[in-house]
Structure 1
Amino acid sequence: MNSLIARWKNLSLTEKVMWSGGSLVSVVITVILVWVALSIDPAPPRSITLATGAPGGAYDAAGRRIASFLESEGVTVELVPTAGSAENINRLMARTADVAIVQGGVGAELAPMGRLESLGALFYEPLWVFTAAGNPVGDIRDLAGMRIAAGDVGSGTRVLLSALFELNGVDDAIWVEEAGSAAAAALRTGNADVAAFMTSPDRAYIRDLVADPAISVMQMERGPAYVRLLPYLSTVTLHEGVLDPATNIPEQDVHLIAAAAVTVVQADLHPAIQSLILQAMHEDFQGGTVLSAPAEFPNRHLVTFDLSNEAERYFDRGGPAFLQRYLPFWAANLVDRIWILAIPVVTLLFPLFKSAPPIYLWQIHRRIKRYYRDLRLLEQSVFREGETPDYPGLLAQLSTLQSDVRKMNVPWTFFDEVYVLQTHIVYVEQLIWNEAKAKRET
């Protein structure tokens, strides 16, 4: 530290200004780059809003699982219960939700706008169509004119059934606005001819309807055709006995069509938050179900909206980025942002660093030349015509010059020049002594 202070004191005013100016320029550039980096890549939000579905439903449960994961990483999630997928899309478009769980196919007309993107599908949602056993149906066309309990306007079930009705030319279905267990009850009491649902077979009322001999479930024999016509659909099979092997429920394979529950986000949602949601999806939904094999979900293909860039990278890597695998969320994000900043900072400051050594060497040469200039002036003072030299004063100045040269801190590559300078100082000193002696003798 003392050595650095000594070196600083030995610098000339010009040198101090140059070095201070260079440091100031570096600091200013760094501050500007920090500001630019923070503006271009702001920190992820501390809280988000997630639109789910009806309380107690599959979307509500999925939203809670995702929220639990995010909150364990320090991100607060406000869960918003809704009437279903149509409302969720409306909330996304109105920006009253950042994320929503949406049935595949809902909002498809908005996909070209590019405002919404997908992070992938979470699980299958098969379409269940139940009727009384004495009034079985074998195809969507058979539902014409029937009273159908399929939830409220905007529910995913009604959206899909409406699309299927349009394909099949059915335009006289009568909607009964009952959903869930209430729709099942309406079927049993005769207040509805059909009860339709888009939900997991894990729901208790679905299991009860499948097991009830008085109820018939429609086999979707033309499922492959519907998948071709509506690409967001898939065919799935509920295998014989899978719900209850002991009582063999169902008694035969049930062929269904299914959409997928998809995580949809604002296109400008911070990539770090998107990555965190993807990790939650991977952790909570990769296990198999009675309808899907292990690792079939999260799924990048069963989506209506384009995958976000972050989701594309996530699926291509097969998981989160390297830092996010080993660091807490906020630490990994901070390192990422610093790294993004470091590249332009180093790029812009590198020329300064590269030019520093030549500037330093030039400064040393300049100081040595300055000492030679002072030495030359002292020598000329001895032989100035018409003046009597002040020999003691000249020797005192020479002594000061000699002391300054000895205190110079220079790299070893300059030692030869310093020693040559000291030799020349001794030469001029001897010259002054000789001239002073000659002056006294005359």
Structure 2
Amino acid sequence: MRQKAYGLRQTLITLVLNIRDAVVSGGPLVILAVALIIGAYWWLKPNPPSQVKLATGPAQSAYASFGEQYRSTLAKNRIRVDLVGSEGSFDNLQLLREGKVDLAFVQGGTAELTEDDQESLTSLGALFVEPVWLFYRTDSAQRLTKRPHLNSLTQLAGWRINVGTAGSGVPNLFNQLLEANHLGLEKLRVTHLTETPATVEFLAGKIDALVLVSAPESPMVQMLLKTPGVQLMDFPQNEAYGRKFKFLSPVTLPRGIVDLAANLPPQNVHLLASTTSLLARDDTHPAIKQLFAQASQGIHSQAGWFNRARDFPNTRSSELAVAPEGVRAINEPAPLLQRYLPFWMANLVERMWLVLGVLLAFMLPLSRVVPPLYQFRVRSRVFKWYGQLRAIEHDMEQPNPDRASIQAELLALSRKVEKITVPLSYADELYALRSHIHWVLQKLEQQEHGVGAAHPNNAENTGHQANPHA
């Protein structure tokens, strides 16, 4: 029983010493690896910020509605999206330029993009089309043109028309259409009210026509399409407009799409549509761009009045270059890791794997130093006593040595060596040291009697062998 307890104690001591030697030998390498990983993490910043700002648009607009959907979607990944209201697309572009928001909805033709925009902004894909809705009152058409329907912008001369605020981008876009028809703003009675006040004035008869550039999901558009006495202007030259302006596309509002039972509209309506993209500042965190681009897949991929399912989002219709994160999210399947891991973990691995690979290639050669260092530390427990043994042996060779003192030193050294614990693979060196100490003791005893001691490595010595496994 006592032998078992002693054996267990020795095993535990050996285990603790082995762990200590392994930690001391490999510790510097581990510390270096951890320091490099921390440095790479700090430099790459793989995890995105927890809060971003998205510029949307006026209250009750399609932009505001889509903004709420993005906020809800990204909240699942613990990203807080602060929605920044604005007057519209032009304001959104200005907010991006000034760095006051990270992302924004911007429609094509809002403003002329500069070289700085090309460098500092990037697109995450085209999301949807926003037709140019020109609503006019039937009674105004009868009064001003002596005809019930309009089919050309040239017929608007002298009309009271609201083209939206400057921040919406609509005035700039609509002015380009008027100039293409050789019709200047001075020939119109233009107002710049926001959507809601302008609609109130329009329905009250104080405005003859109302221009909106918005997605069909806009509540204001939905309401005006069903309002009696209000008509939607048809652009029979929409194909020509699409060829003339690169930011416009010809689209058709199908007959009955608004209300099949009421057959609204009663015939196909030719319209012009601007494509709206989700723009981001170039310095926005790549993971944020990826999350927004992935969210757009679920928000904008459904079939609509002007597109089939999965026509949007796409990378074909954007005025700016599409970011790599947008290209991958739109044109490629979801990354493998994101299918099985939380986003933050998958993103961390995706952005750190290259660094980890380089680190592994760098650390492998250094790791070869660890085994020799471990071996040196274990063997040094044994070899450090040879210096003391050599000194004792040197004292023995002096004239008239103090043999009693030397014997006491040898016995003390023997007791210390007996307490040394080494792994079994190094036991032969420990037993060799013990054998050498015993040999020196024998030499000391035989020196007193004038007899030479046999070396412990001699097979014919007194029976004490240097190698315990022999």
Q: Which residue of 2 aligns with 1:425?
A: 437
Hey, what's the Cα distance between the residues in 2 that align with 1:425 and 1:103?
91
Hey, what's the Cα distance between the residues in 1 that align with 2:416 and 2:354?
47
Hey, what's the Cα distance between the residues in 2 that align with 1:71 and 1:408?
61
TM-score, length basis structure 1: 0.82
Secondary structure of 2:327's partner? helix
Deviation at residue 59 of structure 1 after TM alignment: 0.8
The alpha-carbon distance between structure 1 residues 215 and 370, as it changes in their structure 2 partners (threshold 3 A), is: closer
Q: Which residue of 2 aligns with 1:376?
A: 390
Q: Which moved more, 1:97-106 or 1:206-215?
A: 206-215
Q: Which residue of 2 aligns with 1:148?
A: 161
Hey, what's the Cα distance between the residues in 2 that align with 1:107 and 1:3?
77
Task: Count residues in correspondence.
Answer: 429
Hey, what's the Cα distance between the residues in 2 that align with 1:141 and 1:400?
116
Q: Which moved more, 1:193-202 or 1:234-243?
A: 193-202
Deviation at residue 123 of structure 1 after TM alignment: 1.9
The alpha-carbon distance between structure 1 residues 355 and 209, as it changes in their structure 2 partners (threshold 3 A), is: same
Hey, what's the Cα distance between the residues in 2 that align with 1:249 and 1:356?
80
Map Cα deviations across residues 377-417 of structure 1 (whole Å, 9 max, x no partner): 33333222xx2223333334334444555554445544444
Secondary structure of 1:70's partner? helix
Q: Which residue of 1 aligns with 2:211?
A: 196
Secondary structure of 1:275's partner? helix
Aligned counterpart for 2:170 among listed residues 129, 151, 157: 157
Mapping 1:242-253, distance limit 5 Å: 242-253=257-268
Hey, what's the Cα distance between the residues in 1 that align with 2:391 and 2:312?
87
Q: Is contact 2:61–2:219 with CA below 8 Å preserved after alignment? A: no
Aligned counterpart for 2:130 among listed residues 102, 125, 129: 125
Mapping 1:243-392, distance limit 5 Å: 243-319=258-334, 321-332=335-346, 342-343=356-357, 346=360, 349-366=363-380, 368-384=382-398, 387-392=399-404
Deviation at residue 53 of structure 1 after TM alignment: 0.9
Deviation at residue 200 of structure 1 after TM alignment: 2.9
The alpha-carbon distance between structure 1 residues 307 and 409, as it changes in their structure 2 partners (threshold 3 A), is: farther
Q: Is contact 2:120–2:282 with CA below 8 Å preserved after alignment? A: yes
Q: Is contact 1:37–1:341 with CA below 8 Å preserved after alignment? A: no
Deviation at residue 433 of structure 1 after TM alignment: 1.9
Q: Which residue of 1 aligns with 2:405?
A: 393
Q: Could you tell me which runs of 5 or more consecutive residues in structure 2 were left unpaired when the two chains were aligned.
A: 1-11, 142-146, 452-470
Aligned alpha-carbon RMSD (Å): 3.5
Mapping 1:89-128, distance limit 5 Å: 89-110=93-114, 112-113=116-117, 114-128=119-133
> In the alignment, is residue 219 of structure 1 matched against residue 211 of structure 2?
no
Q: Is contact 1:108–1:304 with CA below 8 Å preserved after alignment? A: no
Deviation at residue 374 of structure 1 after TM alignment: 3.5
> In the alignment, is residue 438 of structure 1 matched against residue 450 of structure 2?
yes
Secondary structure of 1:438's partner? coil
Deviation at residue 251 of structure 1 after TM alignment: 1.8
Q: Is contact 2:56–2:88 with CA below 8 Å preserved after alignment? A: yes
Map Cα deviations across residues 299-320 of structure 1 (whole Å, 9 max, x no partner): 222222222232233234333x
Hey, what's the Cα distance between the residues in 2 that align with 1:85 and 1:247?
33
Hey, what's the Cα distance between the residues in 1 that align with 2:378 and 2:347?
45
Q: Which residue of 1 aligns with 2:88?
A: 84
Aligned amino acid, residue 75 of structure 2? E
Deviation at residue 90 of structure 1 after TM alignment: 1.2
Secondary structure of 2:449's partner? helix
Hey, what's the Cα distance between the residues in 1 that align with 2:341 and 2:404?
73
Deviation at residue 357 of structure 1 after TM alignment: 0.8
Q: Could you tell me which runs of 5 or more consecutive residues in structure 1 were left unpaired when the two chains were aligned.
A: none
Map Cα deviations across residues 265-308 of structure 1 (whole Å, 9 max, x no partner): 22111222222322332232222212221222222222222222
Mapping 1:20-31, distance limit 5 Å: 23=27, 26-27=30-31, 30-31=34-35
Q: Is contact 2:53–2:103 with CA below 8 Å preserved after alignment? A: yes
> In the alignment, is residue 70 of structure 1 matched against residue 74 of structure 2?
yes
Q: Which moved more, 1:415-424 or 1:81-90?
A: 415-424
TM-score, length basis structure 2: 0.77
Hey, what's the Cα distance between the residues in 2 that align with 1:399 and 1:140?
115
Q: Which residue of 2 aligns with 1:51?
A: 55
Aligned amino acid, residue 427 of structure 1? W
Aligned amino acid, residue 397 of structure 1? E
Aligned amino acid, residue 250 of structure 1? P
Aligned amino acid, residue 159 of structure 1? N
The alpha-carbon distance between structure 1 residues 107 and 265, as it changes in their structure 2 partners (threshold 3 A), is: farther
Hey, what's the Cα distance between the residues in 2 that align with 1:316 and 1:353?
42
The alpha-carbon distance between structure 1 residues 111 and 303, as it changes in their structure 2 partners (threshold 3 A), is: farther
Q: Which moved more, 1:121-130 or 1:371-380?
A: 371-380
Q: Which residue of 1 aligns with 2:4?
A: none
